[in-house]
């Protein structure tokens, strides 16, 4: 059951609020229609109910406000607008990702696809779906966690009559099984035909709250639409004949050469026009929303009855409602793995990086005078970063950049979550991908150089362990910088720019700070650690600390560590700020 009390949107400058003190109920086992013309405030009311925009008022779902529901996707299924998702992801992959986010088994995706008739299209990309299939997928996403309540905004918009009938049948079946359905529509005939209860909005205010039968009886008045170049003359003739025959006929002059005739039939109007020689271009029966002079008997809203108010709540203004904090996926690691593997962007990026790395490495060996570590890393002096580091940074930036560009869970949470669980999952997946890319890049460079120039030029350096650690640290650090920067600035481009800023901007700054005799090097770090420690480091731990210190003491390593620390602090700051709001 849904209970909405005093929904009021924030006023826009000098304009009145889009929704003003709207209160109604949607009962369990019934389909409720939120009816109104375009601009009446239907979408705003739904967003206020779902706490997706600030305002005043409160909405209870099964007796609890949404902010107090631990897992909203399991309680409320939502479809607002088009399906949010990457156009390159498959239908099945998209639903499986939603299953991981909702904490339900992934096999639930196949069951839902079978139920909405998309099983044969499970391998199709989201960008290739028609309008009808897109709405089916949106409904499948709303049903994936088997919620108690469905909230849909104009679900049949742009659908054919056949698709619309199918969707209405699904909503009726869902309500018959004990669910609660609330959908917004601008078509009064659809509301009367599908819903059990109709709530009507006009200019942001509640004007009627009726059962569908009462709505059809009092507000759906049949009329005859007439179009004629002599509309005024025909209207006078119809009114004269109605007075003569003492029939109740109402004639309304519309824009252009149109008439709306209430209380008559197409046959009577056609005979009158024929007898008087009036040319008629259109003559058709219509069922509008509300004829002129029709009265509606609005049912008292829940907020107007004393028993519906909270105890002690006598304030004329409803309580303020802020935007709900964004919940993280319940299984963030599985969600992130399916998100990363759901499109071909990662594979194409890795392939491009490997090809570019091999070409640069072969070219550097051809030119000569390049140290062996830089040769294996395909890192000339002219480039700020090697191709593998740039590719890892791009993959890391896509981890958050794609979330903001193609959100998968926007209907549930409004914004991309900044919870630490999802951040750790993205850092883990990005780090593992970066390590694999670093190993593949160095291995491909070594193999191609051995084939082209022989093993003499591609010898394994004696200090390969420290060089390999530095190489892996550089690539992983670039990937993490891309993840954090894209999460802070909400853009893939900003994430990649932050990675490039490390060698271009931060490195010169760090070098300038480290200049001078007062800065001690990390060469004798092990000896200083042994002098300060009160116990011996087990397994030669001081050597590993010395290696880490040498990495940080390098210009690129220090700049990368400084950048990661700054981005992490900025990410945590935005997370805390979002929770405070």
Q: What is the pLDDT of residue 346?
A: 93
Q: pLDDT > 90: what percent of the chain?
A: 49
Q: What is the pLDDT of residue 150?
A: 96
What mean pLDDT is predicted for residues 494-501? 91
Closest of 498, 496, 514, 523 to residue 555, by C-alpha:
514
> Token pair for residue 163?
């698709």
Residues in the chain: 581
Average pLDDT, the chain: 83
Q: What is the pLDDT of residue 522?
A: 47
CA angle, residues 13, 19, 24, in degrees to nearest 5: 160
Residue 77: pLDDT over 50: yes
Residue 392: pLDDT over 80: yes
Whole-angstrom Cα distance, residue 345 to residue 348? 5
Q: What is the pLDDT of residue 221?
A: 73
CA 12 to chain centre: 25
pTM for the model stands at: 0.77
Q: Which helix (H) or strand (E) element contains residue 493? A: helix 492-501
What is the DSSP code string of 345-374?
A: HHHHHHHHHHHHHHHHHHHHHHH----HHH
Whole-angstrom Cα distance, residue 258 to residue 252? 9
Residue 538: pLDDT over 70: no
User: How sure is the predictor about 296, in pLDDT bands with cuts at 50, 70 and 90?
Assistant: very low
Residue 405: pLDDT over 60: yes
What mean pLDDT is predicted for residues 27-41? 94
What mean pLDDT is predicted for residues 544-569? 67
Q: What is the pLDDT of residue 556?
A: 67
What mean pLDDT is predicted for residues 437-443? 94
Between 252 and 323, the higher pLDDT residue: 252
Residue 521: phi, psi to the nearest 5?
-80, 175
Residue 335: pLDDT over 90: yes
Q: What is the pLDDT of residue 467?
A: 82
Q: What is the pLDDT of residue 294?
A: 43
What mean pLDDT is predicted for residues 170-193? 93
Residue 454 buriedness (CB in 10 A; 0-12 / 13-18 / 19+): exposed
Residue 184: phi, psi to the nearest 5?
-100, 145
User: How sure is the predictor about 113, in pLDDT bands with cuts at 50, 70 and 90?
Assistant: very high
Range from 51-55, 228-232, 474-478 carrying the lowest mean pLDDT: 51-55
Whole-angstrom Cα distance, residue 330 to residue 434? 25
Q: What is the pLDDT of residue 579?
A: 56
Residue 308: pLDDT over 60: no
> Token pair for residue 214?
């009462």
Please, what are the domains in the chain? 1-62+179-218+293-306 (3.40.50.300), 223-286 (3.30.70), 332-580 (no CATH)
Bridge partner list, 320: 56
User: How sure is the predictor about 171, in pLDDT bands with cuts at 50, 70 and 90?
Assistant: very high
- What would the pLDDT profile of 126-167 be if each residue is shown by its tens digit? 999 998 999 999 999 999 999 999 999 999 988 888 999 999
- What would the pLDDT profile of 456-470 be if each residue is shown by its tens digit? 776 777 777 778 888
Tokens 């070219």 belong to 363
Q: What is the pLDDT of residue 124?
A: 95
Tokens 């108690």 belong to 148
Q: Which helix (H) or strand (E) element contains residue 320? A: strand 320-321
φ/ψ bin of 25: left (φ > 0), alpha (ψ from -120 to 50), beta (otherwise): beta
């Amino acid at each position: 059951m849904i209970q909405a009390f005093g929904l009021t949107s924030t006023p826009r400058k000098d304009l009145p609020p889009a929704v003003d003190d709207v209160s109604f109920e949607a009962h369990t086992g019934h389909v409720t229609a939120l009816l109104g013309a375009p601009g009446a405030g239907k979408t705003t009311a739904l967003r206020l109910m779902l706490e997706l925009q600030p305002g005043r008022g409160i909405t209870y779902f099964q007796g609890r406000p949404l902010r107090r529901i631990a897992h909203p996707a399991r309680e409320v299924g939502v479809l607002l607008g088009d399906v949010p998702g990457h156009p390159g992801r498959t239908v099945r992959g998209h639903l499986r990702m939603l299953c991981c986010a909702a904490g339900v088994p992934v096999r639930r995706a196949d069951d839902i696809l079978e139920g909405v008739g998309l099983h044969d299209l499970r391998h199709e990309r989201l960008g290739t779906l028609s309008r009808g299939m897109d709405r089916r997928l949106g409904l499948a996403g709303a049903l994936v966690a088997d919620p108690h309540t469905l909230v849909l905004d104009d679900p049949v918009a742009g659908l054919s009559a056949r698709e619309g009938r199918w969707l209405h049948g699904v909503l009726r079946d869902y309500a018959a099984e004990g669910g609660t359905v609330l959908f917004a529509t601008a078509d009064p005939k659809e509301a009367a035909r599908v819903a059990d209860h109709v709530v009507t909005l006009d200019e942001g205010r509640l004007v009627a709250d009726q059962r569908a039968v009462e709505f059809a009886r009092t507000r759906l008045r049949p009329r005859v639409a007439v179009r004629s170049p002599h509309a005024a003359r025909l209207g006078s003739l119809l009114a004269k004949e109605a007075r003569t025959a003492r029939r109740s006929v109402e004639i309304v002059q519309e824009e252009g050469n149109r008439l709306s005739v209430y209380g008559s039939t197409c046959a009577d109007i056609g005979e009158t026009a024929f007898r008087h020689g009036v040319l008629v271009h259109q003559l058709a029966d219509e069922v509008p929303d509300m004829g002129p002079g029709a009265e509606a008997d609005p049912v008292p809203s829940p907020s107007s009855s004393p028993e519906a108010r909270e105890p002690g709540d006598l304030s004329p203004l409803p309580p303020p409602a802020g935007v709900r904090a964004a919940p993280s996926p319940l299984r963030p690691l599985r969600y992130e793995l399916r998100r990363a593997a759901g499109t071909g962007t990662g594979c194409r990026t890795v392939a491009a990086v490997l090809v570019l790395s091999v070409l640069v490495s072969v070219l550097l060996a051809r030119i000569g005078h390049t140290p062996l570590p830089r040769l294996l890393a395909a890192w000339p002096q002219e480039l700020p970063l090697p191709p593998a580091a740039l590719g890892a940074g791009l993959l890391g930036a896509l981890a958050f950049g794609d979330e903001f560009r193609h959100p998968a869970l926007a209907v549930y949470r409004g914004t991309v979550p900044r919870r630490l669980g999802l951040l750790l999952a993205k850092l883990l997946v990005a780090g593992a991908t970066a390590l694999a890319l670093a190993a593949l890049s160095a291995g491909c460079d070594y193999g191609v150089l051995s084939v082209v120039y022989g093993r003499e030029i591609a010898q394994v350096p004696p200090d390969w362990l420290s060089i390999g650690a530095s190489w892996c640290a550089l690539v992983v650090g670039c990937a993490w910088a891309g993840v954090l920067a894209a999460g802070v600035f909400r853009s893939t481009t900003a994430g990649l720019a932050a990675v490039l800023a490390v060698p271009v901007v931060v490195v010169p700054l760090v070098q300038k700070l480290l200049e001078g005799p007062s800065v001690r090097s990390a060469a004798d770090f092990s000896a200083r650690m042994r002098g300060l420690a009160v116990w011996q480091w087990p397994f030669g731990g001081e050597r590993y600390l010395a290696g880490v210190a040498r990495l940080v003491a390098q210009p690129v390593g220090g700049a990368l560590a400084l950048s990661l620390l700054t981005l992490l602090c900025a990410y945590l700051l935005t997370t805390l700020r979002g929770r405070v709001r």
